[in-house]
Each structure stands twice: as structure tokens, then as C-alpha cells.
Amino acid sequence: MVEVQLAHRGVRDPLVLEAMGSVPREAFVEPGFEEFAYEDSPLPIGEGQTISQPYVVALMIEAAEVKPGERVLEVGAGSGYAAAVLAQIADRVYGIERHPSLVQAAQRRLSDLKYTNVELRSGDGTLGWPEAAPFDAILVSAGGPQVPKALKEQLAVGGRLIMPVGAAGMQSLQKITRKASGEFEEQSLGAVAFVPLVGEHGWTEDGPRSATGHLPGQSRSRSLPALIAKVAEPLADCDDEDFGRAFDDFANRRIVLLGEATHGTSEFYRARFAITRRLIEAHGFTIVAVEADWPDAAAIDRYVRHRDPRAHPGRAFQRFPTWMWRNTDVHDFVEWLRAHNEHLPPEKRAGFYGLDLYNMSGSIAAVLEYLEKVDPDAAAIARERYGCLTPWQKEPSTYGRAVLTDSYRRCEDAVIEQCRELLRKELDYAQNDGASFLDAAQNARLIASAERYYRIMYYGGAESWNLRDTHMFDTLMHLVEAQGSGAKALVWAHNSHIGDARHTEMGQVRDELNIGQLCRERFKAQAALIGFGTHTGTVAAATDWDEDMQIMRVRPSHRNSYERLCHDTAVPRFLLRPDRDAVVRRRLTDPRLERFIGVIYRPETELMSHYSEASLARQFDAYVWFDETTAVTPLGPQHARPGVPDTYPFAV
């Protein structure tokens, strides 16, 4: 936590870093949330309050310049965690919390951990603690409409006050320094999201904002939802041709990436179908590359491009999560694509390709089948080389256990050498059947990448995610290069893959990259990153990996999220392009929560499991909004899921 979430993000004060590393955060969270204690996210502590994320706690303490020997006041003591961190540095810490039950729980925790220099009491934090003043530093862990005069007056000369100011979801972290008796210096430290500061000089119990979503006395025209509504372009129904036409402005891009906020929402699939249909029919796009295994997508590609099926075809998309691609919306798209291609020459037909790397057994079979036809001697060598992978073909996630021995190195060398040999013979094979060669070559690359992926995922971390997304990007590049300089591609993948990772917690905290970032770096303005979002509805998902699919209710979006801003516009369906309004872009650049639901959905821990901080205006070029959505309809029985749990827990 200290190295990755704090020091890596710019917290430099050694006193703060040491203090954050000394306090056991798991002791300050509610029972059942211990596993999330060192995630960089807020956690519930009861009474509708939260314990702030570690980075924000460290940022505020560093900004307050807390030093040994000082007296510090914390307003909104909550769980007692920040008070404990402050107690590691300061001489004396005073904490005020308006909920007596939280004060009692915090006092027990602090007593158990032997913090004797902290005093807590229940009361109105906006009034401060006059008897203990003056304070060298005051930290307010809740957002108010302005900094209470009483708190400013309780600062010592030279004292620093840190407080979020604004309504929920619209706060700016302010630093107030008392320069002299009646002189204060103010500084803004950036956007934050805190619970409301309730009290005589704060908000009322009814909450930090009115039903219209703006500050009391503030013009409605200046509220962020109202600004978004003014800029948003209402969209027709997905089945209306006008829906697709709304995206004609992206037709001149080489790569258009279409996201989804969940893996099981019908509107996202239908919208991508409509956009893709328009860009293929009217603007010459010929590549549809999806977040799916190459061999499975290749079976669909043969069907839509009217090519002969493989000699021993298997049913595509049979592994968990089957509903992600075996659903009625994808079926409708595939049938349309086949009909579109029917009367076109082969070189003009649009293809359907998988970018992902998991189905090792299917890929091995595809490479061997191809080599048996074009080079039996090479097939015999490849079969021998791939033999070292055989024990893990049915359950390749267990391959990671082999890292405890040296055997995997021989296997890695073998598959890489096989890939190299296949590519060295590209010219000879391509003369016979260029399309088949592309399929076989990509499968060879896939095996090499997958072997490394299953080895790396044993340890987890950013390396496995980065290998996966780099492989998907490289696959996309092979497809584009194979079709020449005029090739134009559409990518269907989750928002976590197609939004620029550099402007999310993925890149800023976890050192993860993704396809969206790599496409921007490679294609600059020729890449369009389009995210999708929803407020509520239903979704097809499972509660755990390889469990049965369920139709679940999506909880209404969090009050401090981008999704809630979009919901508060009262526009049910729209396209948002932040660059069309400088004020909107600036406001949507401030980091907020954003929801990510994959094939796993756990509503009971949604804030920790499915929300992450992002800068939406930097993450995406455009954003498609559906206020209420419905789950996809799967094809076939969901209990038949042969295959492996190969992405959990690293992928959305």
C-alpha cells in the first residue's frame, strides 16, 4: 500500500509514509471487509459513513504538514483510522465525530492498539473544539459548503486547515493557512469526493444538495448534470438507423474502440451492433476484433465470411462465461454480418476476430491442423514441441504451479521457437492460402503468449494484465497490417480495456496498461475510444468464477460517480463528447468513481468490488449513456460450461 498507492503517486513526506505503514488498517474496517483493507478505496463503517481511501488520508496529512510536537484536530473522526495515523506523528490528536456509535467503536479500537495520545468526543464538528484550541493543523474528513469560521479561528498562526468544500461529488480539497491573526491564505489541492459535513455551519441532515443536484444559491445552469444535459446528444433507439448515423464523425478514424460497462448488458451489444453496422456499410470498416479467444472467434469468422468450416469443428464459445458471446444480440449481429458479406468479393468481406489468448488447447489444435495440410514434417515437430503443454491443456491455470520447477523454461522456448518457425515460412505458406496462414500464425503467437500468461498469473499483479492487453493489441496490429494501409478496425471490449489506462487507477496506481492506451500511443488522433455506462437495470453475471449465470439487479449508481452525474441529467439515452464544451471537459477531467462490472457481479460489496477512480474526459473520446438497461438473453443451457476458469481474478 505504501509503495504502490502512496509513494508511487507522489506522497513524499517520510513521516506520513512511515505512519501509514505502521497503522493496521484492517483493525479499523467493519467485520467482513478486512480483505479490502489495503485497497485504495473507501470502505463503509456504519451510519452511512466511510473510512477514506489510504491515498486521500496520506494526501491530507501531508498537505497539513503535520510535525512532531504539534496539536491536531480531526473533524469527522469516523473509524479512528486517520486519528491513529496522525497520532504516529503529532504530540496530541483531538477527534470529533457526530455519531456516538462510531465514537465508541473508534475509542475501543484506539485503546486496543494502545494509542494514548488521542482524545475523541461526539459533537458538531463544524464548531470545532474551542477548549483544546489553538491547533497547529485541522483536518476535516467531510465536505461542507464552505470552511466554517469557527475552525479557521481555532487555527494557530502558521496553522494549516485541510477541508473538502462543495456538494457531494462536486468538492475541491482546500488548504487554508493562517498567516496572521486575521489573514488567511487559500489553496486548492484538486477534486475529491467525501461524505457531507453535517452541522450548524455545514449541511443539514437531508444531505449536501437539493433534489436538483446543485448547491443552495447556485444557478441551475452551472450544475454539472445540467451542463452535461446541454452538451449531450440524445440518441434514437438502437434499432433505429439514426442511432448508427450519430457516430459518423468517427468514420475517418483507423481504429474505433467500443466499450461496455458490463459483460452482460443487452443495450451495450445492440449499440455496438448498430455502430458497427453503420461503419461497415457506409464507411469501409472490415475488421471487427472482440474480447474473445482467437480460435472461438475464428469459427464465427469462417461462417460470416462464407469460408469452409474446419475439418473437425467444435462449438464456439463453450467455456465460462458462455453468455458473453453466446447470446441473442451477438447471434443477430453474426447473421447480419454473414448476409452483408454474401455478395461481396472475398477481399471486401468484413471479418470477426478474437483478440484474447486463453484457449490453449484450441489454438494448439488449429496450428497442428494447418501444418498437417501444408507441411506434415513441420506438424510432427510442432506436435512434439507442444507435448510439454499437454498436462495443462484442460486446466491451464494450474500451469502456474510449474514455476516452482525449471520445466516451464523448456516449454516456453519450444512454443516460441515453433512460432518463429511458422513465421519464417510465411512467404511459402501465404502463397497457398493467405487467410489460413493468418489464422495459424496468430494461433502460434497465442500459444506463446498464453504459456507466459498462465505462468505469470500464478503470481498475479500488473504483469499478467499487461501481458494480456499487450497480446490483444499486438493481435489487432497483425490484423490491420495484414489488410494493408487502408484497413479500418472496430474493437469490442470492456471499458477497462478500451479506456486509456493512464487516466484511471489502473495506470496511476497499479502500473497497468490497456488496448486503449496502446492504440492512442500508436495511432494518436486516428483512434477513437468510446465508453459506455448505465445507472441501473438488470445484468447477466455470476457471483463467482465458473458459477451459474444469474439475472441480477444493478444497484443505482453511487452518488459520487460519473454514472450518477449522467443519471441526474434526466436524459435517458445520449452520446457525450466532452471536447465539444470546454467547461464540461474541465469538470469531467476531475477524478470520480466509475463502475466496472465484468462477468462477476457482487452487489453487496459493489463500492469495493466494482468502482474505481478515473478521469472520464481523458479516459474516453466519447461516452454512450443508457440510464436503464436489461440483461442479455443467453443461447442454450448455461450449465454446460466445459473449459477453464482462466482469467479470474485478473480480468473484468
**Distance (Å, rounded) from C-alpha 278 to C-alpha 490?**
11
Q: Report the candidate in 85, 72, 178, 87 with the shortest Cα–Cα distance to residue 132.
A: 72
Q: Report the candidate in 338, 341, 332, 273 with the shortest Cα–Cα distance to residue 303.
A: 338
Contact 120, 57 (CB under 8 A): no
Q: Which three cell numbers stand for residue 258?
A: 467500443
**Distance (Å, rounded) from C-alpha 311 to C-alpha 322?**
23
220 Cβ partners below 8 Å, 6+ apart?
212, 214, 226
Q: Which three cell numbers stand for residue 507?
A: 495506470
H or E, element range at 162: strand 155-165
**In 3-state terms, what secondary structure has residue 509?**
coil
Q: Catalytic residue among 41, 52, 141, 266, which?
A: 52
Parallel, antiparallel or unpaired: strands 92-97 and 118-122: parallel
Q: Report the candidate in 513, 316, 314, 356 with the shortest Cα–Cα distance to residue 450.
A: 356
Q: Which three cell numbers stand for residue 87?
A: 497520532
Amino acid found at 450: A
Q: Counting beta carbons within 10 angstroms of the beta carbon of residue 392, is it exposed (0 to 12), middle (13 to 18) or buried (19 or more)?
A: buried
Sheet holding 171-180, edge to edge: 118-122, 92-97, 71-75, 135-140, 155-165, 171-180, 183-192
Contact 645, 320 (CB under 8 A): yes
Give 389-455 as a DSSP string.
GGGGSSSGGGGGGGGGSSHHHHHHHHHHHHHHHHHHTHHHHHHHHHHHHHHHHHHHHHHHHHHHHHH
**In 3-state terms, what secondary structure has residue 204?**
strand
Q: What's the alpha-carbon Rg for the chain, to the nearest Å?
A: 28
H or E, element range at 622: strand 622-629
Amino acid found at 503: H
**Distance (Å, rounded) from C-alpha 49 to C-alpha 142?**
10
* Bridge partner residues of 121 (DSSP): 96
**Distance (Å, rounded) from C-alpha 66 to C-alpha 387?**
62
> Is residue 52 among the annotated active site residues?
yes
Q: Counting beta carbons within 10 angstroms of the beta carbon of residue 640, is it exposed (0 to 12), middle (13 to 18) or buried (19 or more)?
A: exposed
Give the catalytic positions in this structure: 52
